[in-house]
Amino acid sequence: MEPEEIYRQLREKIIWLDLLPEAYLNLSALAESFGVSRTPIKEVLILLEADGWVLRHGSHFIVTPLSLGRLKEITEIRNIIEVQANIMAMDRITAEELAVLGEIRQEIREIGDTPSNRQLVEMDVKFHRTLFQATKNHQLAQMLERILIQYLRFWLSISRKIDPKTFFTETLEIIQAVEAKDADRLRAISAAHIKNSVEEIMGTF
């Protein structure tokens, strides 16, 4: 298996909490699971360390702990970038992408009261990635993606049941504003969405 694919799979396991924060990463066990030697595993872990997903702990690597300080820094960046990116997405969105947003809205309305937190987060990721794609700016979409995935571990670490109606309130309003081409409303609700998201997380941890 190529190192790039090992990196991708390990990062996904960290993001979706298949590897928990502060978990020790055993090089030999990882090498066996990927069918490679320890050397490419160590190289991948060094790359993950550079990107902030793992830390060195003595002679070992561990999954980076959740950090509210880091979340605050990411949120400041998100406030600057994502609100304007949503306006760009509104201006450039295609009929096909609008149809996807319509499908997401319907999925939200039909989700019921018993979805898992992971199901809610997966749907939220689909929504945001649709808007990222609609910007028609690959570099911007990649930057927004890197910001988004930093939030996922926090949402997935919440032990209590997340209320779907509260979770998706601004999502539905953003979709409506995009469809209506209402830039002022979209700007306001996008900023509120970011603020409410981080406050919800901060209030839990």
Architecture of domain 68-204: Up-down Bundle (1.20)
Report the chain's mean pLDDT, rounded to a whole number: 94
In 3D space, the residue among 112, 126, 197, 105 whose CA is nearest the CA of residue 155 turns out to be 197
pLDDT above 80: residue 6: yes
Provide the residue ranges of all domains of the chain, joining segments of one domain with +.
Answer: 3-63, 68-204
b/e 11-32 (16+ beta carbons within 10 angstroms → b): beebbebebeeebebeeeebbe
Residues 189, 173: contact at Cβ < 8 Å? yes
Structural fold of domain 3-63: Arc Repressor Mutant, subunit A (1.10.10)
pLDDT of residue 93: 98
For 81-105, what is each residue's pLDDT tens digit? 999 999 999 999 999 999 999 999 9
pLDDT above 80: residue 147: yes
